[in-house]
Amino acid sequence: MKKPPLILTNILVFIITGAIAFIGVPLWATYIGFDTAEIVTAIVLFYFTGMSITAGYHRLWSHKTYDANIVVRVILAMGGAMALQNSILHWCSDHRIHHRHVDDTEKDPYSAKRGLWFAHIGWMLREYQSHRYDDYRNCKDLQKDPVVMWQHKYYLPLVLATNFGITGLLGWLNGDILGMILIAGVFRLVMVHHVTFFINSLAHFWGKQPYTDGNTARDNGVLAFFTFGEGYHNYHHIFEYDYRNGIHWWQFDPTKWLIRGLSFVGLTHNLRRVPEERIRKARAAMQFQKASARVSQLPNADEVLSKIQSEYDLLIQKMSDYYAAKKRLMRVRQKCLKRSVERLELDYTYKELKNALSLQQEKWLRLQQLNFSMS
Ligand SMILES: [Zn+2]
Ligand SMILES: [Zn+2]
């Protein structure tokens, strides 16, 4: 089959910036050297532009996981332009298609089923996409955001002004324009490109699938460290409207910390979280599925399967009871602050159900380990 035509602009951008980053910058470092101010600026801009993609393009605009003040939106739009990944409107349109048709080799723009190279960068090198380049019907909501439309209209001037203007100015202040553009402009850009591309490539290949195996997305703590928290991609693909990707406090998700931190000073609001009950049930369902698959080859498979099934049913029932009690208790707590009889009773039931659930959860986990040793 004939391959679609090459996109020369993209290819040239990747080759030129890549050559400068991997050949020019090491040579400059050897013969001229970078000073601390240049290195620190490159690191700061790496985080700023990378997180403009993850907190801005991705979690704010593509998935609407929270609302942000206009100042924050303008800053994220500028950081996104500096990351050189097309306009917000275009990026989000592609990304929404990715979620809607994940892994579809025809429709998903960066389908992991077409290989690691394709998902990482190959998809941008040829005109693979069948739909019109400027078809933004899946982003009608974004077209109402003046910041999105302003950035889309002035995308190229913003790219040039941020990448060369900001770094050039900082270089001038530091006494070496070219050195600053090389490390904080180009080298930083190439690094941001590839770490964010990892979210489409590696995060669909490498890691665990604790929430769903309905698509290729994986959870990977190592990857999260390099992708501003986006490595928890299995969770993200099942619960895309959650502003968090790493839901536990110990999971490395600086994008989540940034969004939450800004909410404390009133710059972001309406942070959306998936209810804990749904998350735990999704995880349990996946454990149930994996456990069933593991024991299916055993000689006494039917017997073990029915045991797993009954323990799983009990777990789900106890989760439902516990979260229903928790909801009731919250409602009563909001209504009456005083210690009414109703509230005391609810408190008691809630604690009992909580204990029952944690006992069942322990039993369930032990059963998983047992299954594992049998397989
Ligand atoms: Zn997403
Ligand atoms: Zn994905």
Residue 287 resides in a domain: yes
Residue 368: predicted pLDDT = 83
Backbone angles phi, psi at 23, to 5 degrees: -115, -55
CA of 37 to the centre of ligand 2 (A): 35
Confidence of residue 134 (pLDDT cuts 50, 70, 90): confident
Residue 364 resides in a domain: yes
Would you state the structure tokens that stand for residue 359, as one six-digit string?
Answer: 């006992």
- The last residue of one of the domains, among 175, 191, 207, is 207
DSSP H or E run through 35: none
CA of 240 to the centre of ligand 1 (A): 6
- The last residue of one of the domains, among 150, 172, 207, is 207
CA of 58 to the centre of ligand 1 (A): 6
**Tokens 């809630």 identify what position?**
350
CA of 66 to the centre of ligand 2 (A): 19
- The last residue of one of the domains, among 168, 188, 207, is 207
Q: What is the DSSP string of 320-371?
A: HHHHHHHHHHHHHHHH--S--HHHHHHHHHHHHHHHHHHHHHHHHHHHHHHH
CA distances from 354 to 126, 280, 317, 347 (A): 55, 14, 12, 11
**Tokens 């998935």 identify what position?**
63
Domain identity same for 85 and 201: yes
Print the domain residue range for 357: 276-374
Q: Quote the number of domains for the chain.
A: 2
Backbone angles phi, psi at 269, to 5 degrees: -145, 175
Q: What is the DSSP string of 132-170?
A: -TT--GGGTTGGG-HHHHHHHHTHHHHHHIIIIIIHHHH
Residue 76 resides in a domain: yes
CA distances from 120 to 195, 201, 205, 239, 372 (A): 10, 5, 11, 23, 34
Domain identity same for 175 and 295: no
CA of 291 to the centre of ligand 1 (A): 29
Residue 46 resides in a domain: yes
Condensed to tens digits (0 to 9), the pLDDT of residues 327-358 reads 998 888 887 766 678 888 888 999 999 999 99
Residue 27 resides in a domain: yes
Domain identity same for 185 and 41: yes
Residue 330 resides in a domain: yes
**pLDDT mean across residues, the chain:** 94
CB neighbours of 355 closer than 8 A, spacing ≥ 6?
none
CA of 62 to the centre of ligand 1 (A): 7
Domain identity same for 132 and 13: yes
Residue 41 resides in a domain: yes
Condensed to tens digits (0 to 9), the pLDDT of residues 24-71 reads 999 999 999 999 999 999 999 999 999 999 999 999 999 999 999 999
Query: Strand, helix or coil at 251?
Result: coil
Residue 240 resides in a domain: no
